[in-house]
């Protein structure tokens, strides 16, 4: 087998890995580069023709740095992924009024530990825990050789296997020191403490795609505070089948039109007409609410404060990677709260494996060789692999 890491070696994001065995070629992820946080978004200029002909793409999860260039692949390339990944991508594309990335190609929904055949390859998906629901890693076998590609993962629930000639692991956390909250359980405990000690509202800045974090917030809400979710989060939770997480307090924070067929407007109108939604201003009437916030709500928050809402007894929970503090909108939102005496409380755990968790997976797999991707410094993998040969090039022949 030949493995070509077309992109993803010495930066986080943009994973594109091609595997061939002389008969069949497949792709493991087809990600876009992550935009610079404090810079305008630019189009990804990766030359898709570098991939060549492939029979299928195996998609580990829906994050853009793994799935962002999917629509650029020819329609004859079959897509293999989890049900959750396909559903989430379709929901987002529909909400934004974009063509579905999954349309026009053969879709194969994978089941955990159920192998599939593509030409001369046998591929086995293995479910992992990550901040994207339905994330999977892949065992690829052909001609007596075996590859494990981890995608993004935090834990693998004690997964073990054998016969792995090459392990391709993510290394996001290799360059980052320890976390204050090692796992989701620790996050939940900290959230519960804030919720029981805070007299006013709880504003939470977190990703709408991080459903495990929404579960943690719901579990920490032992005093049954009203949960306020915007229409996008409500839409995602409905579409992903998480009825237990759906709050009756949905709010519309932007103007919507009754004369368009845009899904976001239709959803806002449906919620409004059924009296299931309120305006952003309803926050003022719910002094004990937990409010799911996003940086694009800055102007709405300013309007609320200018209209007399008092947030001095409220709490602000920053539950995403702290690198997003550099985002201008996020920085402005933090500044707004700080001006009113509300400083952020950083309660977050990464969805990526730390050094100990990477080592644990390596020990359970015992690969003959290892390659690292999705890291700011892939050379640091050498510090934790013992005597295992580390592949440093972009082409690896097994």
pLDDT tens per residue across all 398 residues of the chain: 999 999 999 889 999 999 999 999 999 999 999 888 877 788 899 999 999 999 999 999 999 999 999 999 999 999 999 999 999 999 999 888 888 999 999 999 999 999 999 999 999 999 999 999 999 999 999 999 999 999 999 999 889 999 999 999 999 999 988 889 999 999 999 999 999 999 999 999 999 999 999 999 999 999 999 998 888 898 899 899 998 898 877 676 555 555 566 766 777 677 666 666 567 778 888 999 999 999 989 998 999 999 999 999 999 999 999 999 999 999 999 999 999 999 999 999 999 999 999 999 999 999 999 999 999 999 999 999 999 999 999 999 99
Q: Is the CATH number of domain 2-176+351-397 3.30.470.10? A: no
Where helices occur in 3-145 by DSSP H, the ranges are: 64-67, 83-95
Q: Looking at the chain, which residues constitute the CATH 3.40.50.10710 domain(s)?
A: 184-346
| SS3 state of residue 293 | strand
> What span, in angstroms and rounded, lies between the C-alpha atoms of 149 and 170?
9
Find the DSSP H helices in 68-206.
83-95, 184-197
Q: Which residues contact 316 (CB under 8 A, 6 or more apart)?
A: 203, 205, 334, 337, 342, 343, 344, 345
Helix (H, G, I), strand (E, B) or coil at 267: helix
Tell me the two tokens of residue 153: 């993962």
CATH 3.60.15.10 domain extents, the chain: 2-176+351-397
Across the beta sheet with 107-109, the strand order is 107-109, 78-81, 56-58, 25-30, 16-20, 2-7, 395-397
Architecture per CATH, 184-346: 3-Layer(aba) Sandwich (3.40)
């Amino acid at each position: 087998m030949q493995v070509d890491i077309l992109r993803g070696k010495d930066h986080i994001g943009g994973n594109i890995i091609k595997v061939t065995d002389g008969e069949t070629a497949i792709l493991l992820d087809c990600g876009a580069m992550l935009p610079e946080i404090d810079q305008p978004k630019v189009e990804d200029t990766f030359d898709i023709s570098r991939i060549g002909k492939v029979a299928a793409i195996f998609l580990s999860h829906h994050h853009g740095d793994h799935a962002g260039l999917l629509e650029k692949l020819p329609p004859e390339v079959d897509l293999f992924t989890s049900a959750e990944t396909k559903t989430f991508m379709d929901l987002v594309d529909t909400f934004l009024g974009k063509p579905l990335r999954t349309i026009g190609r053969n879709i194969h929904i994978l089941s955990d530990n159920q192998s599939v055949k593509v030409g001369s390859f046998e591929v086995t998906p293995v479910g992992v825990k990550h901040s994207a629901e339905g994330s999977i890693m892949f065992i690829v076998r052909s001609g007596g050789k075996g590859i494990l590609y981890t995608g993004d993962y935090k834990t693998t629930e004690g997964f073990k296997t054998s016969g792995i000639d090459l392990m391709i692991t993510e290394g996001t956390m290799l360059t980052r020191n320890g976390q204050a909250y090692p796992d989701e359980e620790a996050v939940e405990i900290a959230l519960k403490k804030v919720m029981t000690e805070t007299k006013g509202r709880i504003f939470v800045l977190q990703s709408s795609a991080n459903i495990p974090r929404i579960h943690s917030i719901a579990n920490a809400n032992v005093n049954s505070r009203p949960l306020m979710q915007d229409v996008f989060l409500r839409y995602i939770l409905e579409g992903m089948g998480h009825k237990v997480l759906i709050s009756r307090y949905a709010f519309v924070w932007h103007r919507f039109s009754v004369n368009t067929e845009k899904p976001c407007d239709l959803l806002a109108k449906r919620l409004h007409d059924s009296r299931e939604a309120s305006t952003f201003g309803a926050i003022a009437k719910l002094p004990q609410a937990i409010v799911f916030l996003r940086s694009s709500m800055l102007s709405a928050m300013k309007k609320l404060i200018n209209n007399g809402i008092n947030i001095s007894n409220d709490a602000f929970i920053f539950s995403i990677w702290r690198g997003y503090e550099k985002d201008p909108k996020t920085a402005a939102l933090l500044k707004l709260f700080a001006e009113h005496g509300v400083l952020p409380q950083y309660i977050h755990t990464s969805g990526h494996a730390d050094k100990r968790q990477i080592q644990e997976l390596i020990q359970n797999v015992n690969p003959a060789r290892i390659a690292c991707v999705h890291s700011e410094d892939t050379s640091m993998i050498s510090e934790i692999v013992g005597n295992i040969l580390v592949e440093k090039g972009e082409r690896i022949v097994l």
